[in-house]
Amino acid sequence: MIRFCARATAAELTKLFGLPAVLAAVLGTIGAAVAITGALAASPAGVNEPVAVVLQAVPYLQAGTISLGVLAVGTEYADGQIHTTLRCVPDRLAVPAAKTLAYLAWATVTAVAALGIGLLTARVALAARNVPVVTDGLPWNVVGAAVHLALIGLLGLTFAALLRAVVSALVVTLSLVLVVSPVLDAVTPHARYLPDRAGDLLYRPDPAQVLTPATGLLVLLGWVVVIGTGAVAAFRRRDA
């Protein structure tokens, strides 16, 4: 079973590499990191520390990993490729598991590359302004930001698996994260339990918050597990 799932995952990794939209999402996320961190660091009114600059860019980079997660599943329904996938891998538990692992591999590389290049861009932009840059070792909140980006994109994957459509999944996930969440955060403290707000604590912990980084991670994972469980259950029952 493990070997079978490993082969399916390898096939999904190769499949994603062959999708122009996936490559565009990856390169777009990295390009956005460069543009946003460069602009923030070049602004005299901005912060003067590379890590702080990169963390300010994370909310905007969520769109990139969400798109990656949605495309990892949704494109198969758009072109009917899911029928071929199920003929090659008839196990309806192995297919979502392989797609999830393949997505996580791509999302991790994308998040690390975007944040790493963003840090470098911020350093260069700050140096151009003659701002002294201090290196204090590995910034663990940047690691937390990478985890957040990968998991928030995984939420998009679960919505795509549940809705079986690229556009619908993108609209639902991006609206939840970029529209509903900021609006509710302005009117109710319960917005802290939304997936992106809980995940924010992985890289921007707030001592005054009810949730800690660990419990915020659990809340975000809870969203993924609940929606993902529904998606897998529906996938096992309905036609492709």
CA distances from 97 to 6, 10, 46, 63 (A): 10, 12, 42, 23
pLDDT tens digits, one per residue of 7-27: 888 888 888 888 899 999 999
pLDDT at residue 65, rounded to an integer: 97
Indicate the pTM of the whole model.
Answer: 0.92
Enumerate the H helices of 79-194 as residue ranges: 81-88, 94-128, 140-163, 166-175, 181-187
What is the distance between the alpha carbons of residues 15 and 155, in angstroms, rounded to a whole number? 20
What is the distance between the alpha carbons of residues 203 and 195, in angstroms, rounded to a whole number? 14
| Residue corresponding to tokens 């809340």 | 219
pLDDT band at 3 (very low <50, low <70, confident <90, very high): low
What is the distance between the alpha carbons of residues 152 and 195, in angstroms, rounded to a whole number? 7
Domain count for the chain, please give it.
1
pLDDT tens digits, one per residue of 87-109: 877 778 888 889 999 999 999 99
Domain of 204, in residue numbers: 2-237
The answer to whether 161 and 75 have CB atoms below 8 angstroms apart is no
